[in-house]
């Protein structure tokens, strides 16, 4: 009996970007773990896939991870998807994956759509070497301290943020940059 959890990358904005392997896995597993039911149902409906769903997010993952891992240990297979893109990349699932690994459940990443590499390849920037900063704090003072810590890095910096916080982030970058001796 195979004990497997698949981490399945899903499309970002264009359903045609899903891989054939991802579709096969989503069709074959016993259940799918999603971030939000609404997004998962929309995606699966588009591909005519009907599977039981379990939702994990930052509020319930610690409570549900054990239950999900035990289902897999007992012989069910599962796929973890995020609302879009690659699971665990700025999304929930870390607690579940750590627990699965501790139970000797095989964790199998299924590559596909992600936001980082297409953004870099389309930017025209030289990204042979870059530093991924991820999400900085939403709190201004903490974010400015994080930017100050990054100011001496010589690599291309990649920072993620939401559209509604972008203006505040760019304002802080300019403010911190003014204090940098070039």
Segment 145-180, tens digit of pLDDT: 999 999 888 889 999 988 899 999 999 999 888 765
CB distance 32 to 53 below 8 Å = yes
Q: Give the model's confidence band at 89: pLDDT under 50 very low, under 70 low, under 90 confident, else very high.
A: confident
Statement: residue 181 has pLDDT above 60: no
Mean pLDDT is lowest, of 13-27, 66-80, 168-182, for 168-182
Statement: residue 120 has pLDDT above 70: yes
DSSP 95-137: HHHHHHHHTTPEEEEE----SHHHHHHTT----SSEEEEEEPP
Q: Give the model's confidence band at 13: pLDDT under 50 very low, under 70 low, under 90 confident, else very high.
A: confident
CATH number of 116-177: 3.30.950.10
Confidence at residue 182, expressed as pLDDT on a 0 to 100 scale: 38
**Quick one: 4-110 is in which CATH superfamily?**
Tetrapyrrole methylase, N-terminal domain (3.40.1010.10)
Strands (E), the chain: 4-8, 31-34, 53-55, 78-80, 106-110, 130-135, 156-160
Statement: residue 44 has pLDDT above 90: yes
CB distance 85 to 8 below 8 Å = no
- Cross-strand pairs, 159: 134
- Average pLDDT over every residue of 36-52: 97
Nearest to 83 by CA among 122, 134, 33, 40: 40
Question: Domain-by-domain residue ranges, the chain?
Answer: 4-110, 116-177
End-to-end CA distance of the chain: 60
Statement: residue 1 has pLDDT above 80: no
Greater pLDDT, 44 or 58: 44
Confidence at residue 179, expressed as pLDDT on a 0 to 100 scale: 61
Confidence at residue 80, expressed as pLDDT on a 0 to 100 scale: 98
- Average pLDDT over every residue of 12-30: 96
pLDDT single digits (tens) 78-88: 999 999 999 99
């Amino acid at each position: 009996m195979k004990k497997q959890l698949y981490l399945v990358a899903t499309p970002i904005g264009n359903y045609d970007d899903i891989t054939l392997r991802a579709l096969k896995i989503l069709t074959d597993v016993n259940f799918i773990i999603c971030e939000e039911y609404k997004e998962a149902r929309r995606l699966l409906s588009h591909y005519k896939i009907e599977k039981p769903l379990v939702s994990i997010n930052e509020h319930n993952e610690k409570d549900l991870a054990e239950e999900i891992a035990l289902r897999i240990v007992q012989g069910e297979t599962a796929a973890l998807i995020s609302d879009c893109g690659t699971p665990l990349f700025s999304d929930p699932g870390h607690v579940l994956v750590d627990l699965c690994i501790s139970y000797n459940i095989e964790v199998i990443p299924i590559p596909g759509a992600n936001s980082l590499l297409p953004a870099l390849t389309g930017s025209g920037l030289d990204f042979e070497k870059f530093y991924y900063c991820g999400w900085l704090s939403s709190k201004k003072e903490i974010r400015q301290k994080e930017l100050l810590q990054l100011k001496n890095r010589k690599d291309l910096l990649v920072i993620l943020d939401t559209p509604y916080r972008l203006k505040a982030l760019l304002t802080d970058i300019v403010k911190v940059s003014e204090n940098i001796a070039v």
